[in-house]
């Protein structure tokens, strides 16, 4: 399922719908889909993504894109009546992944 905001941009729910175990094929696919498409994004030999914003940046942001999910792949995410995102039909080994998925 693909989620977009009113302007057609990728939304937070779409990002959260990716279960991304560390160093997995799904984590690498997530980086290709969401990070590598950003103009100016570069990657080092370890897979770290970097981008400089402005001529003389003085602030560094850091986040990780892996989640604690036991297995990778798509998962159903929704918004409840209070406006809070969460897993739909979550099971053991699944994770919302909102740790830094929200920062990405």
Q: What is the pLDDT of residues 53-103, one digit of tens each?
A: 888 988 888 788 888 887 888 888 888 888 887 888 777 777 776 555 655
Least confident residue range of 2-11, 22-31, 52-61: 2-11
Q: Measured between alpha carbons, how far is 50 from 94 in angstroms, rounded to an integer?
A: 28
User: What is the band of 5 on the pLDDT scale with cuts at 50, 70, 90?
Assistant: very low
DSSP, res 36: T
Average model confidence (pLDDT) for the chain? 79
Between 104 and 60, the higher pLDDT residue:
60
Nearest to 104 by CA among 43, 7, 30, 19: 30
pTM of the model: 0.73
Whose tokens are 């830094």? That residue is: 100
Q: Measured between alpha carbons, how far is 62 from 41 in angstroms, rounded to an integer?
A: 14
Contact 4, 11 (CB under 8 A): yes
Is the pLDDT at 2 greater than 50? The verdict is no
Half-sphere exposure of 59 (CA within 13 A, CB side): 3
Is the pLDDT at 4 greater than 90? The verdict is no
Q: Measured between alpha carbons, how far is 60 from 67 in angstroms, rounded to an integer?
A: 22
- Supply the pLDDT for residue 10: 57
């Amino acid at each position: 399922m693909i989620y977009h905001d009113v302007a057609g941009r990728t939304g937070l729910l779409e990002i959260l719908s990716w279960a991304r175990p560390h160093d997995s094929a799904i984590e690498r696919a997530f980086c290709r889909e969401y990070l590598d498409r950003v103009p100016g994004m570069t990657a080092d030999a370890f897979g770290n993504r970097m981008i400089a914003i402005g001529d003389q940046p003085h602030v560094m942001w850091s986040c990780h894109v892996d989640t604690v999910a036991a297995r990778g792949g798509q998962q159903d995410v929704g918004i409840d009546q209070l406006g809070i995102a969460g897993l739909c039909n979550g099971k053991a080994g699944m994770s919302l992944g909102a740790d830094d998925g929200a920062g990405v």
